[in-house]
A and B are shown apart, each in its own frame.
Chain A
Amino acid sequence: MNMFGRTLLTLSLMGAMVMGAQANDKVLRVYNWSDYIAPDTVKKFEDETGIRVTYDVFDSNETLEARLLAGKSGYDIVVPSNSFLAKQIKAGVYQPLDKSKLPNWKNLNPVLLKNAAASDPDNAHAFPYLWGSIGIGFNPAKVREVLGANAPTDSWDLLFKPGNADKLKACGISFLDSPTEMLPAALHYLGYPVNDKDKAHIAEAEALFMKIRPYVAYFHSSKYISDLANGNICVAVGYSGDVLQAKARAAESGNNVVIDYSIPKEGAGSFYDMVAIPRDAANVDNAYLFMDFLMRPDIIAEITNSNGYSNANAAATPLVDEAIRNDPGSYPSQAVMATLYAVPDQPIATQRIMTRGWTRVKLGK
């Protein structure tokens, strides 16, 4: 017992020492997704500034939110998605940014900043880091086979126009299983604002989905990646990053399946992972240094090159790999970018109406 007790004491002392050692001035705690940064970004920052970075990862936005709302998360930099950011700003978990400490702010793409401002008015609390869109992933050969050479793959008409979906049923259609992302797409297609709270308009959007419901293979938010790559479905409404993953998988497996991604010309949803500083951050100055570091074109371009996600930094675009930069799915023209909208953050009452409508769509009645 004595030895056990001693071991326990030693271990807890060691733990206390490790914790004590972290409590000096030159540290920064970052909370982000795994691999959502270039392999040497942190090291470069440490070498330049002498600040020691602790990089932790979370597995879902919900985990991050639980930590932030409980308070005293211990982190200086966090990277929530924009739809979560809006709620968290209202809960007061972030501090407003002092943009005079961020000289590289000028590098950010003004169009994307404006889109992201839907979740964070005036971009007061966060800047968009990496982003993606919710568009159409498709198998050009199969779609052409069904709809002919003039298939409107660059438009929501491909799915919503009567007479297209029933033909595409033969090769398979999938949608994301998410009312808050899919119903705004229909609202937008019908010409209503994406954050419309009018019940009648939401019902119209629901009816639009109901009409094509018999031709939809399934509603799922990740299954389509492998199904597209294996040629089991030919049209999937999905996240740009996931469709690009499907494309890479198909190319590597050598099964002759080619996948393309298009942002419909009417406009599409987009999501942004935002960098923000929690209100109770302990190392605010270091957090500003890191934020500004992430806005440097050479640094953020490397991050995009390592994981393939587009960044929101206009000055970095020439430094991004040609394959990514010239892909209109990842790097759309400024005109297409302007048609994108951030997935809106709706009040609970509207969300409930949308969720119920979506359940009816999925049931098909």
Chain B
Amino acid sequence: MKRFNFSRFMLIFGLMFIYLPMLILVIYSFNASKLVTVWGGWSIKWYVGLLDNTQLMGSVVRSLEIACYTAIAAVALGTLAAFVLTRVTRFKGRTLFGGLVTAPLVMPEVITGLSLLLLFVAMAQLIGWPQERGIVTIWIAHTTFCAAYVAVVVSARLRELDLSIEEAAMDLGAKPFKVFFLITIPMIAPSLAAGGMMSFALSLDDLVLASFVSGPGSTTLPMEVFSAVRLGVKPEINAVASLILLAVSLVTFLVWYFSRKAEANRKRAIQEAMDQTANEAWQPQRAATV
């Protein structure tokens, strides 16, 4: 028995490489010392301190809020774009449109940020909106680049979808809208969820775009953290990061738990349906022999 072969070593090494830093971060959030790099014993004072630090907590709440809005808007827009790109195969400027949709993926964020900033400034002068940059402008900026990610994820799923199911629904008299909401959406739901979560994460850790288009009263968490670096990062930041990790793990666990339950229910329903049809098919036969 080979206990320590290469692939097992790589597996353990890889997992440690990904998760050890997070573990260290969580451990250091219980550090009594004010210095992030020096261990001074166990303490929960940074978590208690968070309650008083309205500046930091405000930025956490604001970041989460923007990330939620971004996920919703990016999924809606990205799905529409993906749908058009995969279903309407021929229209004038399709290649150009496809390129435009995916351009934000390869565009350096600095350029997107600066151009959006200039756009907002010009718009404020021309049409009087936005008078003031803030959460709404950050939301718009994040949506522009997150929608591109969603479009890529969703169009991959749409392309491998069996068209005959939708055709069957239309054959049975469903209008295109009904088909889209009753057939297509449930089938691409996993990619919508993936796109939404990706947008959430991208929006949560974006610094560059936010620092360009934010305004008074809209400091996000990454801006707060990077600003704190100048005077030395305090373990309060670790505490916030640990709380976010906890929340993300909890959500992931719940999603996994409920999807497993749903999957089990579905399998049982299919099994029951099959048993039922099998019984139905068998019973009249017996009746006929009697």
Taking Cβ atoms with an 8 Å cutoff, the residues of A that contact B are 1, 4, 7-8, 11-12, 15, 18-19, 22-23, 29, 31, 33-36, 54-60, 63, 66-67, 70-75, 226, 241, 245, 248-249, 252-253, 307
Contact = CB atoms under 8 A, between A and B. Distances in A.
A15 B135 contact: yes
B276 interface: no
Contacts of B226: 59-60
A8 B219 contact: no
Given A56-B219, A59-B223, A22 B132 contact: yes
With a 10 A CB-CB cut-off, give which of A18, A34, A249 has the most chain B CB atoms. Answer: A34
Interface in B84-138: 114, 117-118, 121, 124, 131-136
A70 B115 CA distance: 11
A217 B195 CA distance: 47
A40 to B, nearest CB: 10
Interface in B46-98: 55, 69, 72-73, 76
Contact of B231 (A1, A23, A67, A307): A307
Contacts of A36: 230-231
Interface string B203-234: 00001000110111111000110111111101
Contact of A74 (B118, B135, B215, B228): B215
Contact of B55 (A19, A23, A55, A58): A55
Interface of B: 33-35, 37-38, 40, 55, 69, 72-73, 76, 114, 117-118, 121, 124, 131-136, 181, 207, 211-212, 214-219, 223-224, 226-232, 234
A138 to B, nearest CB: 20
Given A4-B76, A252-B40, A59 B227 contact: yes
Contact of A19 (B33, B124, B132, B214): B132
Contact of A59 (B181, B207, B234): B207
B238 to A, nearest CB: 15
B133 A74 contact: yes
Contacts of A35: 228, 231, 234
A132 B93 CA distance: 58
A188 B93 CA distance: 63
B216 A56 contact: yes
B229 A59 contact: yes
B83 to A, nearest CB: 14
A8 B73 CA distance: 9
B227 A66 contact: no
A72 B227 contact: no
Contacts of A60: 226
Given A22-B132, A252-B33, A58 B227 contact: yes
Contacts of B134: 15, 18-19
Contacts of B212: 63, 66-67
A29 B35 CA distance: 31
A33 B227 contact: yes
B38 A33 contact: no
List 8 tightest A-B contacts by C-beta distance, closest first.
Answer: A59-B226, A34-B227, A29-B216, A57-B227, A54-B217, A34-B228, A74-B216, A56-B219
Nearest to A63: B211
Contacts of B35: 248-249, 252-253
B211 A74 contact: no
Most buried by A among B124, B224, B232: B232
B72 A8 contact: yes
Contacts of B214: 56
A61 B131 CA distance: 24
Contacts of A73: 215
Contact of A56 (B34, B217, B229, B230): B217
Contacts of A307: 231
A57 B223 contact: yes
Contact of A22 (B33, B73, B217, B228): B217
B227 A19 contact: no
Nearest to A36: B231
Contacts of A31: 216
Given A12-B136, A15-B136, A59-B227, A252 B69 contact: no
Which has the most chain A C-beta neighbours within 10 Å: B33, B135, B211? B211
Given A15-B136, A54-B217, A252-B40, A71 B224 contact: no
A290 to B, nearest CB: 14
Given A23-B132, A252-B33, 16 more contacts: A7-B72, A18-B135, A31-B216, A35-B228, A56-B218, A58-B223, A59-B211, A66-B114, A66-B212, A70-B117, A70-B121, A72-B121, A75-B216, A252-B40, A253-B35, A307-B231
